[in-house]
């Protein structure tokens, strides 16, 4: 049997695998809360600080140090729970999850176990083609992050072969909320897409709730991707693997795909999938074994004796519910109605990441249709050409609004508008400034127009004759000559009027 570098049978092609097996996914998402201080102490937490400068005796796990719960973190956890349609516990406790690893200075992580702050929710996830898949949420609980190990020297990629390891406790004790789905069934071959869309929807929610910067590339949001296969949708659940710390949307999708192909190969060969954690490899989208998964009892969970239970009053919970911002899905529906875009147009806008840009452009005075035309047309084309995101183009919604107003007021035409765009993108300033500096304003004064018209009429007497004879067809040639003479800056409609007037 051929095997891959990670010692598994050769992969089964994805399409083949999902024809013969039913994938079930489970996703654990950890989000770092953007509170000023840590979960159980007053140490500040900010990204990129010098290692080990943001610690207190509590986050270093020094003997005798006593934790205190961060009230803002509890509020953020409730916000997340409510946004995910969860029930909020009337009272819940923290628990110690015991394990030994240098990044956990206390030798346990303070987490929640059988009493999460939020439970029994759901999130409707929209796929790129508009299909909606409901993901059931089992629970959302509070916990603290671990520190960060850096392994130095030794053979590359071999953690335990490193010469030495460094540990940074700045991240130890940073507040986290872990959101755990129930097993997600019914996704079939679209399991990778559902997994990705779910994590993306969560990220968007964290941002509007303002509970986290939710930057994947900084590790603010990390997903553990569980996957199992079963012969049919009616079969009992198979054995899952858990691919840890996947930190981009694309990687979530790839991790699911890879595990489907890998597990199908094992099952095809009559083998059994081992319940284990796995590492994801960005370079080739593969996963490799981590550790055989501890059962919960190996963690010797027990209630945290140093912290009182958290008992959010119903009044407080309702107050938080009442101040929840509009969530992304509701906002998309509202804008869809307000803007009057077709379903497919709206989906394209969302998928292109143009929703915020169009909204801001409309706020700057453009009609929704005009805003969409710019961002999904000319600007999308330029973004693609430069291989950048729309939002990273060197032009703002306010500038597009101004540009569109120049067009609407007849001071420039569509063709000139594209030249103005060039100028703005080249850093020549706002549209008004570019128009002035490049002398692009439409010639609206009739004086210079008449001059150009008379010259054109004189140059083409035969056409003048035809038009006088009642055939207006060839008048286009005169208009074209005038437009050329004014370098495209004339208002074509006005030119036509004047030409006909002149010919009489």
Interacting residues toward Mg ion by CB under 5 A:
28, 224
Q: Is 180 one of the binding residues for ligand ATP (CB under 6 A)?
A: yes
Is 243:279 a contact under the CB 8 Å cutoff?
A: yes
Closest distance between ligand ATP and the C-beta of residue 5, in Å?
25
Q: Which stretch binds ligand ATP (CB under 6 A): 212-220, 232-240, 257-265, 321-329?
A: 232-240
Q: What is the DSSP string of 272-341?
A: ----EEEEEETTTTEEEEEEEPPPGGGGT-EE-TTSPPB---HHHHHHHHHTPPPPHHHHHHHHHHHHT-
Comparison of 30 and 382: residue with beta carbon closer to ligand ATP: 30
Strands 276-281 and 241-246 turn out to be parallel
Comparison of 30 and 230: residue with beta carbon closer to Mg ion: 30
Q: What is the DSSP string of 357-425?
A: HHHHHHHTT--HHHHHHIIIIIHHHHHHHHT--GGGSS--HHHHHHHHHHHHTTSS-HHHHHHHHHHHH
Closest distance between Mg ion and the C-beta of residue 302, in Å?
17
Q: Is 182 one of the binding residues for ligand ATP (CB under 6 A)?
A: yes
The number of CA neighbours under 13 Å toward the Cβ of 282 is 6
Q: Which of 28, 120, 126, 428 binds ligand ATP (CB under 6 A)?
A: 28
Q: Is 226 one of the binding residues for ligand ATP (CB under 6 A)?
A: yes
Q: Is the dihedral of CA 249, 203, 304, 182 positive or negative?
A: negative
DSSP state of 44: B
Identify what 371 binds: ligand ATP, Mg ion, none; CB under 5 to 8 Å per kind. Answer: none
DSSP state of 153: S
How far is it, in rounded angstroms, from Cα 321 to Cα 191? 32
Comparison of 183 and 188: residue with beta carbon closer to ligand ATP: 183
Identify what 240 binds: Mg ion, ligand ATP, none; CB under 5 to 8 Å per kind. Answer: ligand ATP
Burial class (CB in 10 A: 0-12, 13-18, 19+), 283: exposed
Comparison of 28 and 430: residue with beta carbon closer to Mg ion: 28
Q: DSSP 3-state assignment of 164?
A: strand
Comparison of 27 and 479: residue with beta carbon closer to ligand ATP: 27
Burial class (CB in 10 A: 0-12, 13-18, 19+), 66: exposed
Q: Is 24 one of the binding residues for ligand ATP (CB under 6 A)?
A: yes
Closest distance between Mg ion and the C-beta of residue 109, in Å?
11
Q: Which of 161, 183, 233, 480 binds ligand ATP (CB under 6 A)?
A: 183
Strand order in the sheet with 108-111: 108-111, 95-98, 302-303
The number of CA neighbours under 13 Å toward the Cβ of 28 is 14
Closest distance between ligand ATP and the C-beta of residue 100, in Å?
15
Identify what 225 binds: ligand ATP, Mg ion, none; CB under 5 to 8 Å per kind. Answer: none
Comparison of 177 and 481: residue with beta carbon closer to ligand ATP: 177
Q: Which stretch binds ligand ATP (CB under 6 A): 53-61, 234-242, 398-406, 488-496?
A: 234-242
Q: Which of 240, 262, 278, 347 binds ligand ATP (CB under 6 A)?
A: 240
Closest distance between ligand ATP and the C-beta of residue 288, in Å?
18
Identify what 24 binds: ligand ATP, Mg ion, none; CB under 5 to 8 Å per kind. Answer: ligand ATP
Closest distance between Mg ion and the C-beta of residue 350, in Å?
30
Identify what 182 binds: ligand ATP, Mg ion, none; CB under 5 to 8 Å per kind. Answer: ligand ATP
Interface residues with ligand ATP (CB under 6 A) are: 24-28, 180-183, 226-228, 237-238, 240, 242
């Amino acid at each position: 049997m051929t095997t891959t570098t990670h010692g598994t049978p050769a992969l089964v092609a994805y399409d083949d695998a999902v024809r013969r097996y039913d994938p079930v996914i489970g996703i654990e998402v950890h989000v770092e809360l953007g509170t000023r201080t840590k979960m159980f102490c007053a140490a500040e937490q900010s990204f990129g600080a010098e290692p080990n400068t943001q610690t207190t005796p509590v986050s270093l796990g020094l003997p005798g140090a006593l934790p205190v719960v961060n009230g803002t973190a509890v509020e953020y956890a409730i916000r997340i729970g409510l946004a995910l349609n969860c029930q909020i516990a009337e009272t819940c406790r923290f628990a110690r999850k015991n394990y030994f690893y240098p990044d956990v200075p206390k030798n346990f992580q303070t987490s929640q176990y059988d009493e999460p702050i939020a439970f029994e929710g759901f999130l409707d996830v929209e796929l790129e083609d508009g299909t909606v898949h409901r993901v059931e949420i089992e629970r959302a609980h509070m916990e603290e992050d671990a520190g960060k190990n850096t392994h130095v020297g030794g053979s590359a990629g071999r953690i335990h072969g490193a010469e030495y390891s460094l540990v940074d406790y700045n991240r130890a004790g940073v507040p986290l909320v872990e959101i755990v789905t129930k097993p997600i069934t019914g996704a079939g071959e679209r399991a990778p897409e559902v997994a990705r869309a779910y994590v993306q929807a969560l990220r968007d929610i964290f941002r509007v709730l303002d509970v986290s910067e939710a930057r994947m590339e900084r590790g603010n949001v990390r997903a553990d991707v569980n996957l199992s296969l079963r012969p049919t949708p009616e079969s009992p659940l198979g054995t899952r693997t858990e691919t840890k710390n996947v930190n981009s949307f694309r990687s979530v999708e790839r991790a699911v795909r890879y595990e489907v192909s890998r597990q199908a190969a094992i099952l095809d060969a009559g083998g059994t999938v081992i319940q284990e954690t796995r590492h994801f490899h960005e370079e080739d989208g593969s996963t490799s074994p981590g550790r055989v998964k501890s059962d919960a009892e190996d963690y010797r969970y027990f209630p945290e004796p140093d912290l009182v239970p958290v008992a959010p009053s119903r009044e407080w919970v309702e107050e938080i519910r009442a101040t929840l911002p509009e969530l992304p899905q509701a906002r998309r529906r509202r804008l869809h109605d307000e803007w009057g875009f077709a379903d497919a147009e709206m989906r394209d806008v969302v998928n292109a990441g143009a929703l915020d840009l169009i909204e801001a452009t409309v706020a700057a005075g453009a009609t929704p249709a005009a805003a969409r035309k710019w961002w999904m047309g000319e600007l999308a084309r330029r973004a693609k050409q430069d291989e950048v995101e729309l939002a990273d183009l060197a032009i703002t919604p306010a500038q597009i609004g101004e540009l569109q107003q120049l067009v609407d007021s007849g001071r420039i035409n569509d063709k000139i508008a594209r030249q103005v765009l060039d100028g703005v993108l080249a850093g020549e300033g706002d549209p008004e400034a570019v128009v002035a500096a490049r002398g692009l304003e439409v010639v609206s004064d009739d004086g210079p127009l008449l001059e150009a018209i008379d010259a054109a009429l004189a140059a083409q007497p035969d056409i003048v004759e035809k038009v006088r004879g009642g055939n207006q067809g060839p008048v286009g040639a005169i208009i074209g000559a005038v437009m050329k003479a004014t370098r495209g800056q004339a208002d074509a409609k006005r030119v036509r009027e004047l030409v006909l007037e002149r010919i009489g």
